[in-house]
A and B are shown apart, each in its own frame.
Chain A
Amino acid sequence: MARVLVYGYGNPGRLDDGLGPALIDALAAHGCPGDVTLETGYQLQVEDAALVAPFDLVVFADAHASCAPPFELRRLEPLHAADFTTHSLAPEAVLALARDLYGSRAAGFVLGIRGDRFDDYGEGLSPVARRHLDAAADFLRQALRDGTGELRCPSPGR
């Protein structure tokens, strides 16, 4: 059985930016099939390369500011690029570090969940984001059900 990590990240104190951690809460509350490890964080950091390295499949779940609702699943390739100075890494960069430093062969996906409100302080998701979260959680539970670690990007108009 494939070892799967679902890593939800974001800031729950900035409204819909908390969609990633909220997905982990939703999966934990209702159970997740297969050999799945759930993890949350504020941002992706360099040490996350060591965290993701042992897994066969890693799903990075984050809020998305502009994708088509309710969510977008995108296959990742390790990428040698880094942000300006935000002290965080892109998921592609985490995979690249895991590969270069720890010999990881993890397959990576990013699950971007469309949010609506990001420009304020406040706890809790907007009603729109909550609907998108439910759709993303249902999709992921279903997709991981067979335990093979194979994920397919849903077709448009899901």
Chain B
Amino acid sequence: MEATSGRRVVIEPVTRVEGHGKVTILLDAEGHVERARFHVVEFRGFERFIQGRPYWEVPVAVQRLCGICPVSHHLAAAKAMDRIVGGEKLTPTAEKMRRLMHYGQTFQSHALHFFHLASPDLLFGFGSDVNARHVLGVAAKHPDLARQGILMRRYGQEIIRVTAGKKVHGTGAIPGGVNKNLKVAERDPLLAELQQMREWAQATVKLAREYTLAHVDSLGGFGSFPSNHVSLVREDGALDLYDGGLRAIDAQGRTIFDHVDPQRYLEFIAEEVKPWSYMKFPFIRSLGPEHGWYRVGPLARINACTFIDTPLAEAERKMFVEVAGGRPSTLTMAYHWARMIELLHAIEKIDALLHDPDLQGTDLVVRGERRGEAVAIVEAPRGTLFHHYKVDENDQVTMANLIVSTTSNNEPMNRAVTSVAKQFLDGQEITEGLLNHVEVAIRAYDPCLSCATHALGQMPLDVELRDAAGRLVARRVKDSRG
């Protein structure tokens, strides 16, 4: 590797799978779809990037991972470092500031996904003209909806700015607490827009619900399958995006494990390495790699939690459960409805926090007994996010292990793409229709591909068809110009 003017990092063999958003469809000897693989970003390079840094730098440095969910990495790393400094029992002001930051992140991320990525599929139908089926098509035909999406996203970004200190690469969460509270002058503009945001969130979840209900029969056959589900839950089983214990349920809703202390995650979750990918494949240890794969994210969270502690979102969750027949929903496309239930939950939580005087408190940081190892888990917008660190007596990080939500969802996405390919592959040609449906199935999981570089000239989606001998049969690339 060539020396750079800054930090020099040598990572072998390569740090990421080439061609982010690359899909390989493998055919059997008869020319039928055997399986599909969706290649996503490799993270172990980043784990080495963190090694050798002082622990207090980590909550800021990890935000380099991603331009979409930096707050999730910021908070997960800060929670881990809380334990390193013995400060995991945060002051009320510190915990509520972090929660507000997290709900702001969830709100803006879910709004972005729905309006930018999902709404074109839902509003126009995913068999519609690809040249109009994107956010700009929404802007042309539904400009009020497009402006609403932008303003919701901006509202969440503003919450991040006032809690983290900056819109991107904030510094608000520090080991043992936070470095600022919420000033009244920062709070009041957010309060002024709150009612509008809640109304829009209610309208958006209604749109997602009505779409799902109107298409529930056809969606059952679209990239859907039973699976295990993993998420954090609160002690009483409530949905909790910031903290709690790990719960896993099977396809029938039976408990596999519950209220697992994050410090013990390795007793319950293992990671498999496969020869064709540098990426890790997490699985539930007791079920083994073949049966232990699981979903994470909004669908898994709404399936796994016992209830939601905010009334509007809870009413929606009950409808969601009813539609699924009281069992965990298997619909890949139900991710959208579940995501919007969480959007509503986030704004209800933001409402409560903005009215809480603890946010103006001044007791910001605690310290306790120093530790050398810590694990933290948060529910990032895309799913469960694990951060695990070891820190030596010189305060330097000696080990970092991250399991990101897109990694956990890798096997479900492969299955969704396999299912769609089996349904829509006609002969040995990658048609526009196949490409579109593969996109729709992957998009439902909201995978984070933005951890990669995005320099001009790189491509976002590349679908390959390979025969049983591994020979390339067909290839189709979709770049940013469609």
Q: Which residues of A come within 8 Å of B, CB atoms?
A: 10-17, 40-43, 45-47, 49-50, 62-67, 79-90, 93, 96-97, 100-101, 110, 112, 115-127, 130
- Please give, as numbers and ranges, the residues of chain A lying within 8 Å of B49 by CB-CB distance: 13, 121-122
Whether B137 lies near A83 (C-beta < 8 A) is: no
Further 13 A-B residue pairs, CB within 8 A, beyond A16-B455, A87-B116, A124-B7: A10-B454, A12-B64, A14-B64, A47-B157, A84-B461, A85-B447, A87-B450, A88-B454, A110-B456, A112-B456, A119-B15, A124-B5, A127-B2
**Chain B residue with Cβ nearest A90:** B480
Task: Assess the B457–A82 pair: CB atoms within 8 A.
Answer: no
B183-198 at interface with A (beta carbon < 8 Å) = none
Answer whether residue B458 sits at the interface, using C-beta atoms and an 8 A cutoff: yes
- Distance (Å) between the CB of B195 and the closest chain A CB? 20
Asked if B136 contacts A81 (CB within 8 A), the reply is yes
Contacts A64-B457, A117-B2, A123-B7; A13 near B64 (Cβ below 8 A): yes
Determine whether B139 belongs to the interface, using a CB cutoff of 8 Å to chain A. Answer: yes
Q: Write out the residue numbers on chain B whose beta carbons fall within 8 Å of the beta carbon of A110.
A: 456
B102 near A: Cβ within 8 Å? no
Decide: A84 and B439 in contact? CB cutoff 8 A: yes
9 sampled A-B residue pairs with Cβ under 8 A: A45-B153, A82-B120, A85-B439, A87-B68, A97-B135, A117-B2, A123-B6, A125-B5, A126-B2
Is B245 interfacial (CB-CB < 8 Å)?
A: no
**Cβ contact within 8 Å between A97 and B154:** no
Q: Which of B140-148, B369-377, B383-391, B417-425 contacts A (4 or more CB under 8 A)?
A: B140-148
Give chain B nearest CB distance to A134 CB in angstroms.
Answer: 12
Contact between A101 and B4 (Cβ–Cβ < 8 Å)?
no
Write the chain A residue with the least CB distance to B5.
A124
Q: How far is the CA of A88 from the CA of B3 in the complex (A)?
A: 30
Query: Residue B46 at the A interface, CB < 8 A?
Result: yes
B481: interface (CB < 8 Å) = yes
C-beta contact mask, B154-173 vs A, less than 8 Å → 1, else 0? Answer: 10010000000000100000
Q: How far is the CA of A79 from the CA of B16 in the complex (A)?
A: 30
Name A83's contact: one of B67, B120, B168, B480 (CB within 8 Å): B480
Question: Which label, helix, strand, loop or mixed, suits the secondary structure of the A interface?
Answer: loop
Residues of B within 8 A of A83 (CB): 460, 480
Residues of A with C-beta under 8 A to B14: 119
Our pick among A80, A120, A123 for the contact of B15 (Cβ within 8 Å) is A120
Identify the closest chain B residue to A118 (Cβ).
B453
Q: A14–B450 contact, CB under 8 A?
A: no
Most buried by B among A45, A50, A101, A122: A122
Q: Are B448 and A46 in contact (CB under 8 A)?
A: no
Partner of B112, one of A11, A62, A65, A87: A87
0 or 1 for each of B444-469: is its CB under 8 Å from A? (1 = yes): 00111110111111101100000000
In the complex, what's the smallest C-beta–C-beta distance from B278 to chain A, in angstroms? Answer: 12
Q: Which of A42, A66, A100 contacts B143 (CB 8 A)?
A: A100
> Which A residues are in CB contact (< 8 Å) with B16?
119
Contacts of A120 in B (CB 8 A): 1, 9, 11, 15, 45
* Interchain pairs with CB closer than 8 A, number: 192
Q: Of the candidates B4, B157, B454, which one forms a contact with A124 in the assembled complex, judged by CB atoms under 8 Å apart?
A: B4
Residues of B within 8 A of A101 (CB): 139, 143, 146-147, 150
- A-B pairs with lowest CB-CB distance, top 3: A124-B6, A13-B64, A42-B67
B335 within 8 A of A: no
How many chain B residues have a CB neighbour from A under 8 Å? 69
Q: Is B274 close to A, CB under 8 A?
A: no
Does B21 reach chain A (CB closer than 8 Å)?
A: yes
Q: How far is it, in angstroms, between the C-alpha of A121 and the C-alpha of B46 when the chains are bound?
A: 6
CB proximity of B351 to chain A, nearest CB, Å: 22
Contact call A46/B454, Cβ cutoff below 8 A = no
CB A112 to nearest CB in B, in angstroms, measures: 5
Residues of the B chain whose Cβ atoms lie less than 8 Å from the Cβ of A79 = 481
Give chain B residues whose Cβ lies under 8 Å from the Cβ of A66: 456-457
**C-beta contact mask, B112-136 vs A, less than 8 Å → 1, else 0?**
1101110010000000000110111
| Shortest CB distance B47–A (Å) | 9
Contact assessment for B447 and A46 in the assembled complex, using a CB-CB cutoff below 8 Å: no
A12 to B65, CA, bound (A): 10
B149 on interface, CB distance cutoff 8 Å: yes
Bound-state CA distance A65–B136 (Å) is: 26
- Contact: B67 with A11, CB < 8 Å? yes
Q: Which residues of B contact A62 (CB under 8 A)?
A: 455-456
Distance in Å from the Cβ of A47 to the closest Cβ of chain B?
A: 5
A67–B234 CA distance with the chains assembled, in angstroms: 52
Docked-complex contact B134 and A85, CB < 8 angstroms: no
Give Cα A127–Cα B460 distance, bound, in whole angstroms: 28
Q: How far is the CA of A112 from the CA of B443 in the complex (A)?
A: 29
Q: Once the chains are docked, how many angstroms separate the CA of A84 from the CA of B48?
A: 29
A residues in contact with B149, CB < 8 Å: 46
Alpha-carbon distance between A119 and B451 when the two chains are bound, in angstroms: 12
Beta-carbon nearest neighbor of A49 in chain B: B150
